[in-house]
Amino acid sequence: MGTYILSDTPSGMKTLIYSNTKEIRLHSAYHPLREAERSVDAFQKGRANLIIVCGLGLAYHIAVLRKRFPRCQVIVIERDAEVIDLARTAVPDQITGIPIISSESDIIPLFETLNLAAFTGIASYHHRPSYAMDAPFYDALIRDINQYLSSKLSDMLTRFEFEERWIENIFSNLPTLLGTPTVSQLFGKFRGYPGIIVSAGPSLRSNVALLRHLEDRSLIVSVDTALKVLQKSGVSPHMVMTLDSQRYSIKHFLGLRDHQPVLLADMVSYPRIPDLYSGTVVMSTTSKYYTDSDGALKRETTPLIEWIEEHTESIGDIQSGGSVATSAFDLLLNLGCNPIILIGQDLAYTGREIHCSGTYHNEEWVPAINRFNNLDTINQGVIRKRRISFVHAYGGAGTVPSDFVFDLYRGWFADSAKRVPVTVINATEGGARISNTVEKPLHELIESLPRPKREPRAILSEYLTDRVADTDAIYQSITAAIDEMRSVKARSEELLQLDDEPVESMEDVLTESSERLLSSFLKRTGVYLARHTDLSPARARTLLLNDIITASQRMANILTKCKEKLEKIR
């Protein structure tokens, strides 16, 4: 183990030497600042406004980067805690306000709060002496940061595409919420029960019929895509989960048999599904929990759920990794299930197929089948459009074709299986291998799982009692919000005609409460203005006011429809 030596230079500045079997100078022995200036002169950041620095040293290069690029966020990666302590002691002013990452666990708390509205890219600056001491460490963290930011950007783009629809669905589902059980009523009620997540991967057909033997000794939760496959195989899952906001998702529920499982519908799900469902409906909401850079636990909800919960009872949070199956995983954790068993979780194109036969996707393809175009041809056509990679197969023998999206979900399950305090068993018997899970055939599980004193359906019946919520508070709040939206619209239309009154940001027009209601509808505008600072003030003003007018009118319409539905149940 080496040591760091702090010494003076002829220029009066400090320098740092790492001494082990040989000496490594982290800075010039004569003029460290001038050396840093020459190094930064050769650095090109391009369009990036986030600079990741590999190596802290005594931060001369960081001081120069901050001065040279004042509009950029500078973040440092440093592997050695001793270097961090020395810098904080010797040159505290040069690292004040600079976030420092020293392990993978520092990434999420730091970047979770990063505003990506004006994000234009990452540039990596290597402090060469520090980087050379452990290049794999710095390269790995750079990869982790890029992957995390890619995920955050993907989430932002998803929100751009779907958030407005989510809000429309949330307020359309609100009357259903007020008259049905919530998922929080079930939390902790299945302690010690095995929980099975059934997905619609191609391997499901090989062992789906065996699930009939587990209906009385485990809680079976089906993703919406797999429900028809289960019913056609004579399996009656206890719950089915849906969270897709799009209209097509209702096709998973068309033509179901008489006995229908408990439907767990997210507040953003397509409203006609809970409206038309003949079985018991339970509402839930998706939230994300994370620890910020100050160590505080933060909750990030679906838009406006917190606003609704201020006037209703708590709905019950389920965290998600981006798919129904990942949400079902968190559901089973909240219910207290142990172990959690995965079925049909291929996360690969097993047999060059996309889904198990029997899903609505296959039913959609049936009319296109002819002697020149069979199901295999259709599957192959879809897969060829994906960017295929080959990953380790279930059981460890050979590989299976997968893609980027499957890789993300497989990584989510592998990471979750490592972190949760329960056993995760992969009984898919096909598809991709998922790290940190126990691979076991379903028929072996049937023999090993004991029969509990009470069947899962009895527990569901006991705790899923209908409730009659007080609608007055939410009704009055929605009425007031409609009036506020109309006032915002009128004020914005007035400002549009007054060229001499400045409007530089949303805060100049919106109150805190109206901004809260409209923020999802104005995100695109905010990002556009943040990235186009060259727009003339007049053009930016007109664009902002027009978008506020459109957003406030749309929100007023959504709230008015919700109010009309509430009037029918009051």
Residue pair 300/288 in contact by the 8 Å Cβ criterion: yes
Q: Residue 495: which residues within 8 A CB-CB, separation 6 or more?
A: 501, 503, 509, 545
Mean pLDDT of 407-421: 91
Other Cβ atoms closer than 10 A to 29: 14
Q: What is the pLDDT of residue 366?
A: 41
Of the pLDDT bands very low, low, confident and very high (cuts 50, 70, 90), residue 374 is very low
How confident is the model at residue 139, as a pLDDT? Answer: 94
Mean pLDDT (whole number) for 174-201: 94
* CB contact set of 337 (below 8 Å; sequence gap of 6+): 190, 191, 193, 194, 195, 219, 422
| Banded pLDDT at 377 (limits 50, 70, 90) | very low
* Domain spans in the chain, listed from the N-terminal domain onward: 3-133, 157-360+400-463, 472-569
From 75-84, 293-302, 373-382, 460-469, the region with the lowest mean pLDDT = 373-382
pLDDT for the residue numbered 288 = 84
Q: Check residues 174 and 115 and name the one with the higher pLDDT.
A: 174
pLDDT band with cut points at 50, 70 and 90 for residue 324: very high
Q: What is the mean pLDDT of residues 412-425?
A: 94
pLDDT at residue 160 above 80?
no
As a whole number, the mean pLDDT across the chain is 87
Structure tokens at 347: 């996360």
pLDDT, tens digit (0-9, with 9 covering 90-100), for 502-518: 677 777 888 899 999 99
DSSP state at residue 28: -
Asked if 334 and 191 count as a contact pair (C-beta separation under 8 A), the reply is no
**Quick check: 291 pLDDT over 90?**
no
**Can you tell me the mean pLDDT for 259-273?**
94
Query: What is the β-pairing status of strands 281-291 and 297-301?
Result: antiparallel
Please give the residue that has the higher pLDDT: either 184 or 152: 184
pLDDT of res. 236: 93
Residue range 3-133, CATH number: 3.40.50
**H-run or E-run covering 391:** strand 388-392
Give the predicted TM-score (pTM) of the model.
0.77
Give mean pLDDT, residues 170-194: 93
Mean pLDDT, range 263-282, rounded to an integer: 94
Using DSSP, state whether 356 is helix, strand or coil.
Answer: coil
Q: What is the pLDDT of residue 375?
A: 41
Is 331 a residue whose pLDDT tops 80? yes
pLDDT for position 125? 96
User: In this predicted structure, which of 115-129, 261-275, 408-422, 478-492 has the lowest mean pLDDT?
Assistant: 115-129
Are 501 and 462 spatial neighbours (Cβ–Cβ below 8 Å)?
no
Count of Cβ atoms closer than 10 Å to residue 340 Cβ? 27
pLDDT at 292 over 70: no
pLDDT at 453: 87
Tell me: the pLDDT tens digits for 16-74? 999 887 889 999 999 999 999 999 999 999 888 899 999 999 999 999 999 999 989 99
